[in-house]
Amino acid sequence: MKKLLLIVMLAIPATSFAGWSAGYMDIDGDVGGVTAEYGFSDEGPWDFSVGALIGTKDFGECSGGICLVIELDPSIFARTTYAVNDNFFIRANVVRFEFTAAAAGFGSFAFESGSETELGLGAGFNMGQVSLALDRFDGVNTLSVAYNF
């Protein structure tokens, strides 16, 4: 279903998505998701944007008879970006990561949902309509690629 949403978003003509970007965010190589973001500024070096992150890649590991699964639930984020020039930018982020974790082993099962708000700083490059960025949150790195409509 999540992949279908991305296909539908990319199939609609780009002119109807002015100010929007769609991409993928990978969190420490363990979990990741599809992003949809809307930017509010058209002129000047500053841009403010808000978006949503929908988890598509879950983390799962089993060791010593205990299995753990972490799933990224739909999350929201806000960013302010400063364009140093046409190709390089720096940004500050606030993300409310929503997650579900489950663990099982030795006849027991534990399930928990939660959220955590993180502040982060990042930098990236624009290559035409494609952006590549690395952001650092409290102990977590994210790598993002986005197509800017």
Q: What percent of the chain has pLDDT over 70?
A: 88
pLDDT at 3: 64
For residue 101, give both structure tokens: 């974790």
Q: How far is CA 97 from CA 4, 15, 17, 87, 144, in A?
A: 22, 30, 25, 28, 15
**Mean pLDDT, rounded, for 47-56:** 93
The confidence band for 19, taking pLDDT boundaries of 50, 70 and 90, is confident
Distance CA 114, CA 112 (A): 7
- For the cut 90, the answer to whether the pLDDT of residue 143 exceeds it is yes
- For the cut 80, the answer to whether the pLDDT of residue 15 exceeds it is no
Half-sphere exposure of 128 (CA within 13 A, CB side): 2
Calculate the CA 104 to chain-centre distance.
Answer: 28
**Mean pLDDT, rounded, for 77-101:** 94
- For the cut 80, the answer to whether the pLDDT of residue 115 exceeds it is yes
For residue 57, give both structure tokens: 């890649």
